Structure formats: C-alpha cells, structure tokens
Amino acid sequence: MAYDAEDTRRRIFEAAAAEFAEHGLAGARVERIATAARANKQAIYLYFGGKEQLFAAVLRAKMAEVQVSVSVDPDAVAESVGQLFDWYQEHPELIRLLLWEALEAGGGLGEGEEERRGAFREKVRHLVDGGVGEGLPEERRVRAGQDLLFTLMGLIAWNFAVPGMCRMMLDEETERAALARRRETVIRTARALAAGAA
C-alpha cells in the first residue's frame, strides 16, 4: 500500500486538535500526537514545522470551520445565535483551544491574528450593513457592531467554557439539561440585544 501523505496530515491534524484541546500547547506532547495519529514524529515536523505551528494551524482551521459553517445574519440574529450555540455544542474543542491560547499566549500577537481580525471585521461589516447602529455616525456604527458581535460570542462561549458551573448554577442534574435551558435564554437575550443595537 502506497504512503498517503494527505491522509497522514489529516490524522495528525485530528490527533493534534484533541491533544491541544485536552492539554493546551505547553502540556501537549508530540509523542502522544504521533501515537494517536499512527504517524511518526518526523512527519509532524515535516508537515507542520513544530508543536507551536501545529497548534496555530489547528486553531486557524477550527476558526475557519465555524466561520464557514455559521454566519450572523443581521436580519435573524437570534436564529444565527442558536445555530452558533449548536455548532459550539457539537465542537467544544474550539472554546478549549481559545482558552488555552489566552492562557498560554500571554496576550502577545499570535500567528494568524491579522487573518482572524479580518474575518471579524467582515462579520461586523455585515451587521452594520444590515442595520446595526443605524442613524449613528459610521465609526459608532462599527463600534456598535463590534460590541454586539463580541457580546453575542461571549453569551455563547461561556456556556461551553464552564459547563460544570453552568449545570451547578442552574441547578440542573445534567449538563445537557443546563445547555438546553441556556440555549433558549441566549437566543432570547440575543433577540433583545439585536433589537437594541438596531
């Protein structure tokens, strides 16, 4: 059977995503990634350059995945938020990766930051073009769109950043029950925020 470089890259990537989500950049081990991917360590360095570059590639790909999967529709913000909530429930690893990045990067300029800023600017522009901050000067409209987007993302992300706290605070027996309840609350809140921002 011939060596399949693309399949090896895919296996490394999947194993790395799980390893980084579980252990962060500092705690992740290239040996564990290689073992889980059924690849050798040299393939990781060959295809990705090293642990830091692999972490950046995983985070970049996960961010692109959510951006392609769900967009915030200015005419249906609450429905978009519900879709984002569902996406994060199916892919909790992105929140964990972002938390690890925040803990370990120390606020410095990370690899791919400009690319991510550009993607957020596009989303904000979409909200502003859809009517957010209508009647305000352009700069204030953009700021209103930025604040709305960041607030909505925070409303969603916190549920997956601290699921145990969510379950305990809401006094639910399971995380699933707590998240179902939170989804409805987040959608209702997003609807109110969007109406206020418009």
| Residue range 45-77, pLDDT digits in tens | 999 988 999 999 999 999 889 888 888 888 888
User: What is the CATH topology of the domain spanning 1-57?
Assistant: Arc Repressor Mutant, subunit A (1.10.10)
Q: Which two tokens stand for residue 113?
A: 């930051």
Q: Position of tokens 């889980």?
A: 36
Band (pLDDT 50/70/90 cuts) for residue 105 is confident
Mean pLDDT computed over 14-35: 95
Distance CA 85, CA 196 (A): 21
What are the boundaries of each domain within the chain? Answer: 1-57, 70-197
Q: Residues near 127 by Cβ (< 8 Å), separated by ≥ 6?
A: 72, 74, 145, 148, 149, 197
Q: Which of the four pLDDT bands, split at 50, 70 and 90, describes residue 113?
A: confident
What is the C-alpha to C-alpha distance for residues 176 and 167, in angstroms, rounded to an integer?
Answer: 8
What pLDDT, in 10s, does the model give residues 128-182? Answer: 999 998 899 999 999 999 999 999 999 999 999 998 888 899 999 888 899 999 9
| Chosen CATH of 70-197 out of 3.90.1280.10, 3.40.640.10, 3.40.50.150, 1.10.357.10 | 1.10.357.10
Cβ atoms of 176 and 185 within 8 Å: the answer is no
Query: What percent of the chain lies above the pLDDT cut of 70?
Result: 94
In the chain, what is the greatest distance between 2 CA atoms, to the nearest angstrom? 65
Cα dihedral: 62, 68, 69, 71 (round 10): 120
| Equal fold, 1-57 vs 70-197 | no
SS3 category, 170: coil
Which residue's entry shows tokens 């009647």?
135
Residue of 101, 119, 100 lying closest to 110 (CA atoms): 101
C-alpha span between 23 and 170 (Å, rounded): 28
The whole-model pTM stands at 0.83
Amino acid at 22: E
Confidence bin at 111 (pLDDT 50/70/90): low
